[in-house]
Amino acid sequence: MGGAFARFSLALVGFVWAQCACGPRCWPVASPSIWPVRVYSYQLGSSQSFGQDPQYFPYNVLGEICTSATPTNPCADPCQVVSLGKGGFIALEFDPPIADGPGPDFTVFENPFRYGSGQVFDEWMIVSVSQDGINWVVFPFDSITGQGLAGRTPTGCMGCSGPINWQDPSQSGGDAFDLSVVGLAWAKYVRVTDATSWQPPDRLSADLDGIVAIHQLSSNSLAYQIGPTGVTIRSLVQPLFEAWNLLGQPISAEVREIGEGTWIIRPFGPAVVRIYTPTGMQQVKGFFAPMD
């Protein structure tokens, strides 16, 4: 049986490597991370297919930004950027979620570049955020000037040396966004949507390099109590949650306010529950009796 398992494992590893041509980027980013942990949803347009092959995507949008990029020399590595295609979109998931801290909270990197006398070749993207992956809030923008869109600011900074702190927009470049602009305390998902149809016809589509979180909810920071029928938690607003059985399969659960600012989340049976409130997130495991 051990031999069979080993053969299966080797076959699996071979399959993963055959599918991915991007070296260390082929392994998923583990949470907690400042980088997105997975592609939540996507739909790529047809005008341009750079980096869309399964050996490159989604590896090219997860993990660190293209380190060879400078403001005058954009990244053109299919292991690092993917073309969205006209009207295409990609939504990325962050764990822990991005939080609204002082100033910008996340930065989106396309591969625009400087040329001539101060001009920038840019390709625009609309940026939206969501807490539950269902309801999205769009950052305000001007489709004439491009203000408020991503894909406008080159990666890196002029005359910089040494490794870039990707969480400092003054040296990382890219387009930084502040959750307070759209009135959200936190967001688990960021979606970028190609908006080059508003630009000159030589723009085929925007290319996503990656997104970095600057502020995030702290893990394991909530006041909670595990009881026989559920998890009790203090929160001024109804907490969001996800629940899985011990095989990692999503299961249903209910959330109910049992006193002012006190909520109970009730799954059934052995469960892992991850809870999000405006002030933090918490993951707990417990065995919960049937609801009465």
Do residues 129 and 182 touch, judged by C-beta distance below 8 A? yes
Q: Does 110 bind Ca ion (CB under 5 A)?
A: no
User: Which one of 131-139, 151-159, 170-178, 219-227 is the stretch in contact with Ca ion (CB under 5 A)?
Assistant: 170-178
**C-alpha–C-alpha distance, residues 263 and 202, integer Å:** 54
Q: Does 80 bind Ca ion (CB under 5 A)?
A: yes
Q: How far is the CB of 102 from Ca ion (least distance, A)?
A: 6
Q: How far is the CB of 148 from Ca ion (least distance, A)?
A: 15
| CB closer to Ca ion out of 105 and 123 | 105
Total residues binding Ca ion (CB under 5 A): 8
User: Which one of 9-17, 175-183, 185-193, 224-232 is the stretch in contact with Ca ion (CB under 5 A)?
Assistant: 175-183
Q: For 46-73, give the DSSP string.
A: SS--TT-STTTTTGGGSSS--TT-BTTB
**C-alpha–C-alpha distance, residues 75 and 192, integer Å:** 18
Q: Does 45 bind Ca ion (CB under 5 A)?
A: no
User: Which one of 16-24, 95-103, 152-160, 255-263 is the stretch in contact with Ca ion (CB under 5 A)?
Assistant: 95-103
Q: Supply φ then ψ for residue 12, to 5 degrees.
A: -65, -45
Which three-class secondary structure state does DSSP give residue 170?
Answer: helix
Q: Does 209 bind Ca ion (CB under 5 A)?
A: yes
Q: How far is the CB of 278 from Ca ion (least distance, A)?
A: 13
Q: Does 178 bind Ca ion (CB under 5 A)?
A: yes
Q: Does 123 bind Ca ion (CB under 5 A)?
A: no
Q: How far is the CB of 13 from Ca ion (least distance, A)?
A: 24
User: Which one of 3-11, 74-82, 235-243, 253-261 is the stretch in contact with Ca ion (CB under 5 A)?
Assistant: 74-82
Peptide bond into 32 cis (omega under 30): yes
Q: Does 194 bind Ca ion (CB under 5 A)?
A: no
- Residue partners of 281: CB distance under 8 A and separation at least 6: 96, 97, 217, 218, 219, 220, 221, 222, 274, 275
Do residues 120 and 199 touch, judged by C-beta distance below 8 A? no
Q: Binding Ca ion by CB under 5 A: which of 105, 123, 194, 207?
A: 105
Q: How far is the CB of 167 from Ca ion (least distance, A)?
A: 13
| CB closer to Ca ion out of 166 and 241 | 166
C-alpha atoms less than 13 angstroms from C-alpha of 91 in its C-beta half-sphere: 19
- Angle subtended at Cα 275 by Cα 273 and Cα 279, rounded to the nearest 5 degrees: 160
Q: How far is the CB of 215 from Ca ion (least distance, A)?
A: 6
Beta bridge partners of 6: none
Q: Binding Ca ion by CB under 5 A: which of 22, 52, 83, 100?
A: 100
Cα–Cα separations (whole angstroms), residue 223 to 99, 232, 271:
18, 9, 19
Do residues 40 and 93 touch, judged by C-beta distance below 8 A? yes
User: Which one of 84-92, 110-118, 209-217, 235-243 is the stretch in contact with Ca ion (CB under 5 A)?
Assistant: 209-217
Contacts with Ca ion, residue ranges (CB under 5 A): 60, 80, 100, 105, 178, 180, 209-210
